[in-house]
Structure 1
Amino acid sequence: MKEIKSDVVIIGAGPAGAVAGALLAKNGWSVSIVEREMFPRFSIGESLLAQCMESLENADMLEAVKSAGFQFKNGAAFEWDGARTSFDFREKFTPGHGTTFQVQRAKFDKILADEAERQGVKIYYRHSIVSADIAENGAELIAEHNGEELAFQSRFVLDASGFGRVLPRLLDLDRPSEFPVRESVFTHVEDNITDSNFDRDKILITVNPNERDIWYWLIPFADGRASVGVVGEKEKIAAWGQDPEQILKGAISAAPELAKTLYNAKFDTEIQRIRGYSSNVTKLAGPGFALLGNAGEFLDPVFSSGVTIAMKSAELAAECLHRQLSGESVDWDKEFSVPLKQGVEVFKTYVKAWYDGRFQDVIFYQTEQKEIKGMICSILAGYAWDKKNPFVAAAERRLNTLVEICSAG
């Protein structure tokens, strides 16, 4: 069996894997990425948050992304039964990038992977991990490629396999998510949007007029196309039918304002569906390994936090691992898991409040206080680790107070 040795093996060449690989290579470590598919390949999670730009900048990938011609994004717009509001990320409370991009992930992920390779990372495409033997003093992953097996040996393993969740599956780390089973049905369209109320510089989140826990995304791209999808609990999604096309078109017709915006849209791409995507694990790191992004915990697509969490986990892990490989003692729970979870828990607070209606009441509240809106805007822009923001430092308490104010108003 052929053996491939490196300091670090990363499972998955998506945003988390590419960023972590580039950061480690920049510090002089040899990195191999084992990727199941061949890039470019389709993926969702197309509306980036402004916080992502900091991660891309740190990994020396930002200029490549800026020059790719992606759709500019400066915020998020919300619509519910004729009520409209928007948040401009440039008016946020937290310092840092205030704009970002809406991206076709096939192209975006390929750019990041290519940049990682340019910086010295070796990527092995079309290799599927079939077994993992991981210990504190080293690891061996067996991968299958074209009917043959290869042994990837390293000092540490980072799992950035996304929804593939390789190590949680092989090491029995999975545990149920606290979120109910929801389903998403989505596609890409030639949008042909002429609606003057639609701002292509923002993602549009539409709430179903009759079921507030059902919502839609509309993400415009730079080439006149857009990503559109509906999210809801599987029983409610099933009310529109069993066929994905029937479901998506029926769901859109049940949201009149969105249907009007997409009146001229050409549905020319296969409609897809995923179910039960929320996930969790017993731990994010252990002797010889750490889980990045969706391989650890995935919350929900509503605030587009997935790629942001993935990149943040990559940065935290790369910093800890650089120190550990250099001979320092690293407490992975204290220095990786806890800091990562702090931001994840903030997002989780607002995701829960979105589905029970509390955060929607705040978003659609008509009397705005500029300072408070800026703090909420920071969270929507991805700055969920900024403890100077009161709505991050005490997320649940501050949000509940704000909900009471809005309710009284």
Structure 2
Amino acid sequence: MNMHTDAPSHDTDCDVAIIGAGPAGAAAAARLSHLGWRVHVIERSHFPRFAIGESLLPQSMAYLEAAGLLEAVQRAGYQPKNGAAFTRRSRTTAIDFRDKSTPGWGTTYQVPRADFDQRLIHAAGALGATLEFGTTVTAFDAHAMHPTLQLEDEQGMARRLNARYVLDASGYGRVLARLEGLERDPRAEPRMAIFSHVEDGIEDADYDREKILIGVHPEDAGIWYWLIPFADGRASVGVVGDIETLTAHGDCPEARWQTLIDREPRFRQLLHQARRVREVNEIRGYAASVTQLHGPGYALLGNAGEFLDPVFSSGVTIALHSAHLAAPLVDRQLRGESIDWHADFEAPLRAGVDTFRAFVEAWYAGTLQTIVFHEAPPPRFKRWISGVLAGYAWDHDNPFVTASRRRLAALAEVCAQRDEVRS
């Protein structure tokens, strides 16, 4: 790979240091390596490693394509996905992402993240990024021109890594948010997710493997379920709700998971032959927020800054969008341009995150559930909502992006009134 003539002298180890080798880190590393910069990715764990967030949104395909990573994903043979199905009290409805208001991809994949993340980061490595696994970032010195990371390997050996810019894509590790004191109250109810993988054994002819299935607990609309089928006959199955309510359903994760799955009729019916193939795990209090997404010589990508909720599978899309915004800005800054990171990165990124947040809040408030389970929502409204749920949360031509809360509330009121008339 040819290096830029304006690359720094020997006092820096790399042009860009990226903390974390997940989707955001891989996408940023791929784009910046392709542009010729010396990119060094530091990852605490070893790949492949398990992760949730296995149902992608169509908008993410454009970001993968821009990063040069789409071909690696398409070669993998993942389960195609074209929408989301919803079930509540034996009533099932669906949203097809191909029928949306926003132009662009309408299909994507359901992906085992261990394989997906490994493919992405190794594709970034093939483009020239240096990959370092089993290494932890223990300290950070922020500097507009010469940020420095303190690293420690698994043998306890410490060293410094000098860069010209740092991107934090550490996900739930939230490395720079902790080290720089950026964490703040996410203002979200503390919820938990309980999940596992199964050989699903589903034989129901009416079951559509090209859609994620989201279920609602028949007595408690604040508890919801996911069923994400993979191409090999396995599936990811999880339950989400407030911590106190879910922990009351059993004395261990396995008992809670099984008890709750058995409470939802459609899930119980579909999974009656399922066999669990990995342990049941729990994540508690996963929502996160930060006071700022950038600082002197660094920016935060994806979950390293903000994480909302898994209900609409927005995590990977937000991560990839953040890398899509940040990588060209890093390139320009390293070339000597002055970048307004708030105007060009933080503000537009947060705008889309806030759209997703409005939809998450509407789901738990029951507003969006009223719309989703309405028998015949107006077609153009459904296409607008499909656009957001397909990941196009930055499409300002969509009125449910520009005025999410107000329009969701108004549409839910109309749907509720029609339901009352029918009843």
Q: TM-score, normalised by structure 2?
A: 0.95
Query: Contact 2:377–2:415 (CA<8 Å) still a contact in 1?
Result: no
Q: Does 1:359 align with 2:361?
A: no
Aligned residues: 407
Tell me the residue number matched to 2:194.
185
Shift in Å at residue 150 of structure 1?
A: 2.2
Cα offset for 1:4?
7.0
* 2:69 is aligned with 1:57: no
Report what 1:165 is aligned to. 174
Amino acid at match of 1:283: Q
Q: Is the 8 A contact 1:4 1:150 kept in 2?
A: no
What CA distance in whole angstroms lies between the structure 2 residues aligned with 1:385 and 1:40? 31
* Whole-Å separation in 1 of the counterparts to 2:71 and 2:378: 35
Letter in 1 for 2:196: T
Q: Does 1:47 align with 2:16?
A: no
Correspondence for 1:78: 86
Aligned-partner Cα distance in 1 for 2:64–2:267: 33
Residue 294 of structure 1 corresponds to: 303
Structure 1 stretches of 5 or more lacking a match? none
- Write the letter of the residue equivalent to 2:53: G
Q: Quick one: distance in 2 between partners of 1:63 and 1:157?
A: 27
2:43 aligned to which of 35, 39, 42? 35
Confirm or deny that 1:391 pairs with 2:407. Answer: no
Q: 1:277–1:298: 8 Å Cα contact kept in structure 2?
A: yes
Q: Give, in whole Å, the separation in 1 of the partners of 2:12 and 2:229.
A: 42
1:91 is paired with a residue whose SS is coil
Q: 1:96 maps to which residue?
A: 104
Correspondent of 2:349 among 340, 348, 366? 340
- Aligned partner of residue 365 in structure 1, secondary structure: coil
Residue matched to 2:335: 326
Other structure's SS at 1:142 match = strand
Q: Which amino acid aligns with 1:331?
A: D
Q: How does 1:153-232 map to 2 (within 5 A)?
A: 153-232=162-241
1:153-211 Cα deviation digits (max 9, x unpaired): 10111000000000011111111111111011100000000122211000000000000
The Cα of 1:242 is off from its aligned counterpart by: 2.4
Q: Is this contact kept in 2: 1:74–1:98, CA < 8 A?
A: yes
Secondary structure of 1:205's counterpart equals strand
Q: CA deviation at 1:319?
A: 1.6
Aligned-partner residue type, residue 62 of structure 2: E
Which of 130, 133, 136 is the aligned partner of 2:144? 136
Deviation at 1:79, TM superposition (A): 0.3
Alignment of 1:9 onto 2:17: yes
Deviation digits for residues 210-267 of structure 1 (CA, Å, limit 9, x no counterpart): 0001000000000000000000000110121120110000001111221011010001
CA contact (8 A) 1:206 1:258 kept: yes
* Partners of 1:115 and 1:4 in 2: CA distance: 25
Cα shift at 1:16: 0.1
Select which of 245, 264, 267 maps to 2:273. 264
Which letter maps to 2:349? L
Question: 2:120 aligns to what?
Answer: 112
CA offset at residue 38 of structure 1?
Answer: 0.9
Percent of paired sites with the same residue: 51
Judge conservation of contact 1:9–1:32 (CA < 8 Å) in 2: yes
Matched to 1:34, the amino acid is I
Task: Report the CA distance shift for 1:345/1:218 in structure 2 as closer, same or farther (over 3 A).
Answer: same
CA contact (8 A) 1:4 1:151 kept: no
The two structures have a TM-score, normalised by structure 1, of 0.98
* Counterpart Cα distance in 2 of 1:159 and 1:343: 19
Q: Counterpart of 2:258 in structure 1: which amino acid?
A: K
Alpha-carbon shift at residue 278 of structure 1 (Å)? 0.2
Shift of 1:268: 2.6
Return the offset for 1:408: 1.4
How far apart, in 1, do the equivalents of 2:69 and 2:54 lie?
A: 17
Distance in 2 of aligned mates of 1:396 and 1:274: 28
Does residue 1:125 correspond to 2:133, yes or no? yes
Q: What RMSD over aligned residues (CA atoms) do the two structures have, in Å?
A: 0.9
Unaligned runs of 5+ in 2: 1-10, 419-423
- Residue 311 of structure 2 aligns to a residue whose secondary structure is coil
Quick one: distance in 2 between partners of 1:320 and 1:241?
Answer: 49
Contact 1:72 1:102 in 2 (8 A): yes
1:8: how far off? 0.6
1:238 aligns with 2:247: yes
In structure 1, the residue matched to 2:3 is none
Q: 1:20-77, CA deviations, whole angstroms, 9 ceiling, x for partnerless residues? A: 1111112221110000011111000000000110000001111110110111111100
The Cα offsets for residues 284-324 of structure 1, whole Å up to 9 and x where unpaired, read as 00111100000001000000000000000001111211111
| Paired AA for residue 325 in structure 2 | L
Distance in 1 separating the partners of 2:410 and 2:93:
21
For residues 8 and 317 of structure 1, do their structure 2 counterparts lie closer, same or farther at Cα, with a shift above 3 Å needed? same
